[in-house]
């Protein structure tokens, strides 16, 4: 029986780097079939961004044409008038 208080894992925001010369359209199709919810495809620089459940990370990383799957990080700077700088 599952724990009703347990949270389902939240997908991670990721950046996928494609190999030079990879067929971007074909790789994006494979990424989606492997579980990546695609947000942006930057074909000129070989980057795909999206969200991915941890259990699908190995499948995405193993696709031909994928060089790296990296977590996306966000940063928040304090307001300019804050005491901490």
Residue 8 lies in a domain: no
Domain extent at residue 28:
21-71
Kindly calculate the radius of gyration of the chain based on its CA atoms and give it in whole angstroms. Answer: 17
Residue 37 lies in a domain: yes
Phi and psi for 15 in degrees, rounded to 5?
-120, 125
Residue 39 lies in a domain: yes
What is the reported pTM?
Answer: 0.77
Question: How many structural domains comprise the chain?
Answer: 1
Residue 36 lies in a domain: yes
pLDDT in tens, 23-76: 999 999 999 999 999 999 999 999 999 999 999 999 999 999 999 999 988 778
At residue 46, the pLDDT reads 96
At residue 3, the pLDDT reads 52
Residue 56 lies in a domain: yes
Model confidence at 85, pLDDT cuts 50, 70, 90, reads low
At residue 1, the pLDDT reads 47
């Amino acid at each position: 029986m599952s724990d009703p208080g347990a949270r389902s894992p939240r997908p991670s925001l990721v950046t996928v780097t494609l190999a030079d010369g990879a067929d971007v359209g074909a790789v994006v199709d494979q990424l989606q079939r492997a579980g990546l919810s695609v947000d942006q495809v930057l074909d000129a620089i070989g980057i795909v961004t999206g969200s991915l459940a941890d259990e699908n990370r190995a499948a995405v990383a193993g696709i031909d044409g994928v060089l790296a799957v990296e977590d996306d990080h966000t940063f928040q700077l304090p307001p300019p008038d804050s005491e901490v700088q």
